[in-house]
Structure 1
Amino acid sequence: MKKKLFLGILFIFLGIPLIMYLAWLLTPNTKLVVAIIDKTVMDESGQEHISLNWVLNHEKFTKTSEKPYRIDTDYFGFFPGQNKDYQLKGLERFSASQITKLSNDADLVYFTDTYGVYNNDWFEGDKNGLLYGGLSDEDTELMQLMKEKQKLIIAEFNTIGSPTKHYNRKRFEDMFHLHWTGWTARYFENLDIKQNAEIPEWLVKNYNRSHKHKWPFKRSGIAFVSDDQQIVILEEGRHLQSAMPHIITEEEHQEEYSIPESIKYPFWFDIISYDKEVNEAVSIFKMDLTEQGRKELVQNGIPATFPAVTRHTGKDYSFYYFSGDFADNPVRLGSSYFKGISFFKGLFYDTRNPMERSSFFWKFYQPLLTKILVDFSNK
């Protein structure tokens, strides 16, 4: 009896993963040429685009008929090296003819992050200024060509925020009929600067500059930052019933993308508006505001609800904008080699931790992006 029990347990721990891996291995490849743009790569882990690579690998989308995408080499942007060395391999080095060729070769372009790398983040010391980043002329030209050729364009949080210059931001907004309000925001589990080291010094400094050097916050909350460094803080208990922002999806889109009605989102996001004649919101951000919180937003021109996922509704081109840092999640690429792994997704996160983002990947990003890519590749 004990032997049978042991063999049963051994099958569960070894046999099932082996079957899942073999099922993945036997799944045929689908060539899908993806131009990945990531300008904020601090190490070879490719954290800012790892979630995208996970989906590509899990669904057997490959850059050639045989070769899968490598997370450390198959993108355009900032390439970190040893001993603070680096290489710039973005589209800025491309000629007009090379941009045109890329638009012909690529099936889709995905801008995972254009925030870039700053001197004081990369080098030791107090060197200020931008080392590399921002949406460039070449980036917007590629998007324009991809749009004209009815390819798929996906962009997400910070594509048109700082340090992107006004000209390229305006071109992007006009191209896709949406508008950045100038505000970005993030949830913080604890706003007490004596206890939470994750609160940026610049956030506190800019708030104190316009509020008589008083940072009174001790609870959880949401910090809003404008492009001119104006700071608005909504704190739980005063401005918010519950501080955690949620992404809400109506039933129609829940069924279409296999995503939940509500999912928490404890990371950076931006606040945009869109032209409802050509775009629609698949999901929206919603905050649990008090009356005081609503007044605070109105006084600063910040909407109470705003898009989380925006898509173009016409058939003339395919476009999605994710208003959060969606491709940056703490996932392991190794789990993508097992077909059906999402059935065991509950093993990969602990929702008791308000700051965990793995549940967002498994419940929202992974099914959403999979549906988008599969639908597009089947056209």
Structure 2
Amino acid sequence: MNYKKIKITISLILALPFLMLLFWFLSPHQKLVIAIVDKTVLDQKGQEHISLNWILNYHKYTKNNTEGYKIARDYYGFFPKDNEQFRIRGLERFSASQIAQLSNDADLAYFTDTYGIYNKEWYQQKNNQRSSGILYGGLSNRDLEFLKLMKAKKKLIITEFNTIGSPTSPEIRGQFESLFGMKWSGWTARYFDKLDTLVNKELPVWMVKNYKAANHNKWPFRKSGIVFVSDYDQVVVLEDSTHLSDSMPYIVSTVNAQETLGLPEKIKYPFWFDVILPDEKINTIDSKFDLNLNKIGLAELKKFGIPSSFPAVLRQSTPNPKFYYFSGDFCDNPISLKTSYFKGISFFKFLFYDVEDPMERNSFFWNFYKPLITNILKNEKKD
């Protein structure tokens, strides 16, 4: 046995994290001015935009020549403080001239979440009701004005799930839809690994209550499944085996998206998403949701006017797209910013998730969101 070689190998393994950190430290800064809008920030961890900050830090994108983006500071929206205190620094408080200046300065607008904060979840830190009087949220007139200016100046715009859903007003939603060639169906949905209310205490109380109100006070579901909720509080449940051959929603990407954006052919998505109706004369579908519906499931969706196929990633149909819409809560993943300081960390991504766990979302970050945003930003810098 060659103890010298073993000793050298162990030394290299122990030195690897330091070398990865050193390579990150020595890599050059890349200036990219981004206006991040997040109106759903319950604590300073910034969960709704953490995945974007991970990528910005990993590639050392900076807001000026030297300073990187801070997750608790560099965005527009709701800023939580201690003891139920908060401050609001959103675009709705900007003047018209300030909005115009921001559109000149910014290279990219990224709306990660506009759902907002409701009184009950903020002041009592719980959310047993779907709505409880809004404290702050929804796409505003100033937000829309900013997006119009960014579009007119041919600058990159990325928007996500719930940018135009509730509580955004129908008038502002309609203007957004006309501006970007898409329409919200009024439906959102999510996968649950257990629909049994006695077992899964994370099932929203309001969701079960609304279903029971329309179905003789019954909730007969026990297995896994997908629950659709409308803007009018209708609830449609698709259960494993009854409506679905596989209860897990999947995102399936086109060959072009796999080649240009580095996306996998197919990946699970066990979180919130919305049903978008695209104008395919204006936009291209790079990825779509696959729900594995059987005949009963297809009939159930048809009964409520819900399409069986709809986009997951939508983009402007040009060689150099300047608009993207993600139909899921893509930027919200339970990851740690600390790992973004280690160059080459993707080689060890398999250590950060358990593929046997149906509810884990880290694999989505590493295999879908990270290559998606990395390539969009890379193409934008190149353009």
User: If the TM-score is normalised by the length of the shorter chain, which range does it land in?
Assistant: over 0.9
CA distances 1:154-204 after superposition (whole Å, capped 9, x unpaired): 000000000111111111100000000110000000000111011100000
Q: Give the drift of 1:46.
A: 0.3
Is 1:292 matched with 2:285? no
Structure 2 partner of 1:335: 339
CA distances 1:108-146 after superposition (whole Å, capped 9, x unpaired): 110000011100001139993000000000100000000
Structure 1 partner of 2:145: 141
Q: Which amino acid aligns with 2:43?
A: D
* Range 235-244 or range 19-28, more displaced: 19-28
Equivalence map 1:95-106=2 (5 Å): 95-106=95-106
Structure 2 partner of 1:120: 120
Are the aligned partners of 1:150 and 1:317 in contact in 2 as well (CA < 8 Å)? Answer: no
Are the aligned partners of 1:150 and 1:316 in contact in 2 as well (CA < 8 Å)? Answer: no
Structure 2 partner of 1:94: 94
Q: Which amino acid aligns with 1:10?
A: S
Structure 2 partner of 1:359: 363
Structure 2 partner of 1:11: 12
Runs (4+) of structure 1 exceeding 2 A deviation are 1-7, 124-128, 314-317
Give SS of 2:284's match.
Answer: strand
Q: Distance in 2 between matches of 1:316 and 1:372?
A: 10
Q: Give the drift of 1:23.
A: 1.5
Give SS of 1:289's match.
Answer: coil
Equivalence map 1:207-356=2 (5 Å): 207-314=211-318, 318-356=322-360
Give SS of 1:305's match.
Answer: coil
Q: Give the drift of 1:314.
A: 2.9
Q: Distance in 2 between matches of 1:150 and 1:291?
A: 44
Are the aligned partners of 2:252 and 2:266 in contact in 1 as well (CA < 8 Å)? Answer: yes
Structure 2 partner of 1:131: 135
Is 1:168 matched with 2:172? yes
User: What is the aligned-residue RMSD (CA, Å)?
Assistant: 1.4
Q: Distance in 1 between matches of 2:215 and 2:367?
A: 40
Q: Distance in 1 between matches of 2:169 and 2:256?
A: 37
Q: Distance in 2 between matches of 1:9 and 1:316?
A: 47
* Range 139-148 or range 245-254, more displaced: 245-254
Are the aligned partners of 1:148 and 1:317 in contact in 2 as well (CA < 8 Å)? Answer: no
Aligned length: 378
Are the aligned partners of 2:256 and 2:286 in contact in 1 as well (CA < 8 Å)? Answer: no
Q: Which amino acid aligns with 2:40?
A: T
Are the aligned partners of 1:312 and 1:319 in contact in 2 as well (CA < 8 Å)? Answer: yes
Are the aligned partners of 2:253 and 2:288 in contact in 1 as well (CA < 8 Å)? Answer: yes
Q: Give the drift of 1:5.
A: 2.3
Question: Which residue of the other structure, out of 181, 184, 187, is the alignment partner of 2:185?
Answer: 181
Structure 2 partner of 1:33: 33
Q: Distance in 2 between matches of 1:244 and 1:366?
A: 21
Q: Distance in 2 between matches of 1:71 and 1:65?
A: 18
CA distances 1:281-300 after superposition (whole Å, capped 9, x unpaired): 01000111111001001111
Q: Distance in 1 between matches of 2:3 and 2:119?
A: 62
CA separation of 1:116/1:292 partners in 2, compared to 1, >3 Å: closer, same or farther? Answer: same
Q: Which amino acid aligns with 2:6?
A: L
Give SS of 1:112's match.
Answer: strand
Structure 1 partner of 2:23: 23
Q: Give the drift of 1:4.
A: 4.4
Are the aligned partners of 1:40 and 1:115 in contact in 2 as well (CA < 8 Å)? Answer: yes
Normalised TM-score (structure 1)? 0.97
Give SS of 1:87's match.
Answer: strand
Structure 2 partner of 1:371: 375
* Range 358-367 or range 122-131, more displaced: 122-131
Q: Distance in 1 between matches of 2:26 and 2:174?
A: 46
Percent of pairs identical after alignment? 55
Give SS of 1:187's match.
Answer: strand
CA distances 1:327-361 after superposition (whole Å, capped 9, x unpaired): 00011111111111111111110010000000000
Q: Which amino acid aligns with 2:101?
A: K
Unaligned runs of 5+ in 2: none
Q: Give the drift of 1:2.
A: 4.3
Normalised TM-score (structure 2)? 0.96
* Range 274-283 or range 16-25, more displaced: 16-25
CA distances 1:47-102 after superposition (whole Å, capped 9, x unpaired): 00000001111111100110000000000000000111000111111010000010
Q: Give the drift of 1:19.
A: 1.8
Are the aligned partners of 2:315 and 2:321 in contact in 1 as well (CA < 8 Å)? Answer: no
